[in-house]
Structure 1
């Protein structure tokens, strides 16, 4: 109990501007270190360099989170890394002699990743209140997991995202290293799926932000995209990761197995993120069961609820 009071006091001493300055400084150090490591390993092994650098950045941010006692210092790193991967691979493997179909595909991946990352990071920044806030899921894990807080933070908050983001980013490496196939229908489909996913996320988050400004205790969001799906934001997120797999099939069909990354993301949402959110909503919102009965969990119906 005394430790919790100390942690709360430490978190509450941070103003929002000061909190953002801390995150910017931490991420600048983490990103610089990551790219220096990738450069040191060399352009002959760009993917290895990125993965080792990413792991080092996670270790650094984990140590920082232990100092400030807040796992949410890591939250936005999730949306920073994939664009960095995509942009790095585009420039490192760029053919200076000619702009090929492989370059166009890598550029498409980099653009889609950047749009996704910018939108997700901006949404986090708008909603984040500062170091006084820590994700409710982390707090729940700290209280229920049969291990110390530092171990929960290491395994569940830092190492698990390291694993799933690395798996999810495998398609970028395959696209970057296979440039022989023409830019075609599968690439166009991948772009459409990626941008549709980002758009769904954006409108879902706008609906949620408007709802949060006026909601009363126990209210249920059942308008906009949320009238067709209970988790449209997660649907958009999964679509974006599966779009990377489509890019992989376009670049190198034999690497169909790279869908393991998007599959890992999907399993994470269906096995952990969605059940936790559903349980919390059922406990806090009296009208949740009625909403749940008429609204699909993820995949939307074409018509609005009756």
Structure 2
């Protein structure tokens, strides 16, 4: 069996323990058994327990066997879909049908977009490589990485993913009529998905073109500064954050202002990732000077006019 096919099979089988357990619970929920009664009364705690053992522990063990943490990247795009369907299907849930449908559809659109972007970037291979940040951490921690990775790669994902998906949980625990804020939340979510799609597509074309130049022995283009990348150094990150903050609107609208916690933590994490990415860019000699200029003239996240353009407009206004 080829490596690509083997990894695909592992990825499809990996979440089965949680899925089978939850399916069994749904089929036996009417029985007066202590386990099923507990699962019925504690939906949020149950999903965290399933996440801990199936994602954190099992995925971690698989990573130790394979010496690679590639699978968590694939499941970052899938877990929110699993979570939204869990929250919707749990027997204790109560929700507005139309709001729930909107959330489910939006989550699927987001997931399909991000999954497509991931596999396009990886040339449609399963587990060809792990995230470069994990590789750097492995080199940094050396022999202790095998146990540090459980916390740095897996346990932290539970905090992030459960946190940013809190609005999905709230939507399926509060039954209120639709209002204008649901429309606003939907618009913001779709805007984030569209921005991220175009940003990732432009980046993919740029990387592909540079790969062709490299194969032909020609100089590489130092930096992408067209399309959305003309207005932002990380428009893909910006679009992703807009999506998650759009979800916050749904939870906030239902009276749960604390749902911002997940989005705030995720944004702070992405801010740190942005710093790491830019440090990596500045280590590549062929692009250092141009990227430094790019940093000075271009917004970090939020698409905006370049500083040189703003200076010209100020001069004209004066």
Contact 1:227 1:304 in 2 (8 A): no
Deviation at 1:221, TM superposition (A): 0.8
Deviation at 1:45, TM superposition (A): 3.4
Matched, 1:277 2:274: no
Match runs of 1:163-202 below 5 Å: 163-179=159-175, 181-202=176-197
1:169 to 1:26, Cα distance in 2 relative to 1, 3 A:
same
Q: Corresponding residue for 1:80? A: 78
Q: 1:37 aligns with which of 11, 16, 21?
A: 21
Contact 2:95 2:174 in 1 (8 A): no
Q: Corresponding residue for 1:110? A: 104
Cα deviation per residue 1:269-299 (whole Å; 9 max; x = unaligned)? 11x2100001011111221001111110001
Contact 1:171 1:245 in 2 (8 A): yes
Q: Which runs of 4+ in 1 moved over 6 A?
A: none
Deviation at 1:48, TM superposition (A): 2.8
**Structure 1 unaligned spans of 5+:** 1-13
When the two structures are aligned, how many residues end up with a matched partner?
A: 282
Q: Which secondary structure does the structure 2 equivalent of 1:241 belong to?
A: helix
1:144 to 1:105, Cα distance in 2 relative to 1, 3 A:
same
Q: Corresponding residue for 2:62? A: 64
* Distance (Å, rounded) in 2 between the aligned partners of 1:256 and 1:145: 38
Q: CA RMSD, aligned part only? A: 2.3
Matched, 1:214 2:209: yes
Deviation at 1:154, TM superposition (A): 1.2
Q: Which secondary structure does the structure 2 equivalent of 1:75 belong to?
A: helix
Q: Corresponding residue for 1:3? A: none
* Distance (Å, rounded) in 2 between the aligned partners of 1:203 and 1:52: 36
* Distance (Å, rounded) in 2 between the aligned partners of 1:34 and 1:227: 44
Contact 1:38 1:49 in 2 (8 A): no
Deviation at 1:31, TM superposition (A): 2.4
Contact 1:37 1:49 in 2 (8 A): no
Cα deviation per residue 1:89-130 (whole Å; 9 max; x = unaligned)? 2233599xxxx9711111111111111111111111122254
* Distance (Å, rounded) in 1 between the aligned partners of 2:243 and 2:45: 23
Q: Which secondary structure does the structure 2 equivalent of 1:225 belong to?
A: helix
